[in-house]
Amino acid sequence: MIYPWQTLQWQQFCQQKIQQRVPHAIVLLGAEGLGKRAFANQLVATLLCEINDAIEPCGQCHSCHLFLAESHPDHIVIEPEETGKQIKIDQIRKLKDKQELTPTVSRWKTVIISPADSMNINANNSLLKLLEEPQPNTLLILITAKAEKLPITILSRCQKMIIPAPEKEIASRWLQQQTSFSEPDIAQLLPLAHGAPLKVLTMLEQGVVSTIEQLKHDFDSLLNNDINPVLLAKNWQQYDLLMILNILQNLIHKRIVNDQKQLSSESTERYWTIYDCIITAIKLTSSPNNINKILLIEQFMVSVMNVNLRYNTANNSSI
């Protein structure tokens, strides 16, 4: 399946296929929720299709049937054996053994590695040897939303294909066609999903809109000292920590912009300081070290309360 925002990249691949210039390795880059895996599947299905000059899979030939049944002998998918785990060197070694064989059904052999950034150091080194000695009529597709975690030696041997987030209007229109949710609901989720329509779709199905309203209420209660931060931190454990921080970041940013439009500076400085607290917490969640979720939430709430206390004290002393 090709999504509307992938048309340009698909046309680029079709042109390569027509000109018989398909590279031996492609790295698909883009944020989560842009349909990179669906794009890769369509690309692979087109190559494996028995109609050699096809620019899309026919869906009717033996090869297409095998691919749809996820049992094509000339196609391999390499993923972590468990969610959140690494791709190991043994998985890449098995791939190398398979790549030395000739195709059994199609003219091509294809491989999808996803997410490619989950390969450990040894797996990366093993894959590098394979990229340095490409086999004819073989395509490796690496999928990642975190290109910075892939070694430059791997990236330099792959053709980069970036799947960008669509323009806001295109994403909103597509989402309204897929769901019964309102345009305002979609509009407030798009920034949180970094413009990725499929991620917004998932968030809508998970009821994130109501979660946002609850978090806004909770945070305003925290700012007004109307809630116990320990109990609130315990309650927030049910949510994804990074999602909480992204929602609050978006909320505070909107309030800063609103204050600036109204030429109000009374609360702007306080909001900027709280914004810095949010950024600090986001950086801590990205740390390679294991973090204590409830402790981080509590520390964040204390820092926000300290900001409030400091600015309230300053305002009272100036009266």
Reported CATH class of domain 4-162: alpha beta
Find, among 143, 145, 160, the residue nearest to 23 by Cα. Answer: 160
Return the pLDDT at 167.
Answer: 94
In the block, which residue shows the tokens 């490409």? 134
Please tell me the distance from the alpha carbon of residue 182 to that of residue 235, in angstroms, as a whole number: 28
Return the pLDDT at 259.
Answer: 82
Q: What is the pLDDT along the chain (319 residues), one digit of tens a residue?
A: 899 999 999 999 999 999 999 999 999 999 999 999 999 999 999 999 999 888 899 999 999 999 999 999 999 999 999 888 899 999 999 888 877 778 889 999 999 999 999 999 999 999 999 999 888 889 999 999 999 999 999 999 999 999 999 999 999 999 999 988 888 999 999 999 999 999 999 999 999 999 999 999 999 999 888 888 888 988 998 898 989 999 999 999 989 988 887 766 667 888 999 999 999 999 888 776 677 888 889 889 989 888 888 877 766 555 5
Return the pLDDT at 269.
Answer: 86
- Looking at residue 296, its amino acid is L
Return the pLDDT at 230.
Answer: 85
Return the pLDDT at 179.
Answer: 86
Find, among 79, 81, 158, 82, the residue nearest to 117 by Cα. Answer: 79
Return the pLDDT at 134.
Answer: 86
Return the pLDDT at 17.
Answer: 93
Return the pLDDT at 314.
Answer: 64
Return the pLDDT at 266.
Answer: 66
